[in-house]
A and B are shown apart, each in its own frame.
Chain A
């Protein structure tokens, strides 16, 4: 795009500001189907329009030239907010592309020079559109990464149940990354607290397949290597059946149906006296 073309386009934009803006917002508003208020959309597009016009006025032909910085930051903000609000990539990109049609309608000279101008304008807009798309994808990626990290954070607390007994309630589907984190947290907690007993509670794990079982087994064996005993609790009936039908061997690892049984087992092992029917009856017998 040469200097004259961009000047002519800027002039065209400033002359037909209202018409173009109106048609542009109207065409975009349809695709957004009322998920963004009219005032907000108008405000966004007015800013964008002015920045675009200013950029053309300043002979910006490449989007990486310094004159386009304002325009790009506006576009980046727009696509980031669209990504956060759950708009699709097409909806976001269309916001930028649809100004082309609006501009074409107001071309007074639809002959050779006007068409050439419009083609140049289109090329520039295409670059802007691609930039928007890229920012949108990056914003989406950032959101996904952030959420995955939050999920990892909140899903693996290590709880101290008794002096020398820690428990890890596992919740949600276990994949390699999550079980790795859970494993490291548990083992680190064993070292930090010096607890010789750990209870791995899988009440919140919806399904156990061979891979999940493998991860749990590894954790238990690693804890044993470090000199702690690990008990698995919270095995639901269906999961017990799955484990058996998959042929998974838990070997000599202690498994209990629920957390309270596991805690009781550990306390017995530790030699803590439990006042209760099961604990008193042998005493009565002797």
Chain B
């Protein structure tokens, strides 16, 4: 039984789907990926579907599930490399792929993950920054 290889790139997991996703393979990929996210503490998942000729509702649902599972484990998912023909077919079929973020290629996918991390980090930092003046502000007053 084949497995879809999962590569670890710094804090990102890279999955390149090279064969048609069948039921078994999809389930196994979900399980493997969840385990790897926990094991490596990755903060992002990039799924490359450049090699896929067909993306049907099943593949779409699988990708959405993977994205939700990763989200729960605090990792963002970006699907990259969708072919024009695939995108056209999806639009013609009216399958909007809800809950999946996409980027044109792995490079832009990495950029996207980094940007989300930065803005999320910035939010947290501002929380901290906002919290610290509150702590320090009352101090000068008694002096």
Cβ-defined contact, A221 with B96, below 8 A: yes
Cβ contacts A170-214/B at 8 Å (1 or 0 each): 000000000000011001101100111000000000000000000
B7 at the interface (CB under 8 A from A): no
Nearest chain-B residue to A228 (Cβ)? Answer: B104
- CB neighbors of B among A100-127 (8 A): none
* Min C-beta distance of B57 to chain A, whole Å: 14
Given contacts A194-B108, A196-B108, A227-B82, contact A222 B88 (CB under 8 A): yes
Most buried by A among B82, B83, B104, B109: B104
Cα A187 to Cα B97 in complex, Å, equals: 18
Which residues does chain B contribute within 8 Å of A190, judged by CB atoms? 84, 104
Inter-chain contact B103/A196, CB cutoff 8 Å = yes
Instruction: Determine the distance from Cα of A191 to Cα of B79 in the docked complex, in whole angstroms.
Output: 14
Could you tell me the dominant secondary structure of chain A's interface residues? helix
A222 touches B90 (CB 8 A): yes
Q: Check B114 for interface membership: any CB of A closer than 8 A.
A: no
State in angstroms the CA–CA spacing of A191 and B85 once bound together: 11
Q: How many residues of B contact A (CB 8 A)?
A: 23
B16 → chain A closest CB, angstroms = 16
**Complex CA distance for A226 and B91, rounded to whole angstroms:** 11
The residue in chain A whose Cβ has the minimal distance to the Cβ of B101 is A227
Point out the residues of chain A lying under 8 angstroms from B87, CB to CB: 187, 222-223, 225-226
Q: B68 an interface residue at 8 Å Cβ cutoff?
A: no
> Given A187-B84, A187-B87, A188-B84, are A226 and B104 neighbors across the interface (CB < 8 Å)?
yes
Mind listing 21 A-B residue pairs with CB under 8 Å? A183-B88, A184-B84, A187-B88, A191-B84, A191-B104, A194-B105, A194-B107, A194-B108, A195-B104, A196-B108, A218-B91, A222-B84, A222-B91, A224-B102, A225-B91, A226-B102, A227-B79, A227-B80, A227-B104, A227-B108, A227-B109
- Using a CB–CB cutoff of 8 Å, the interface residues on chain B facing chain A are 78-80, 82-85, 87-88, 90-92, 96-97, 101-105, 107-109, 112
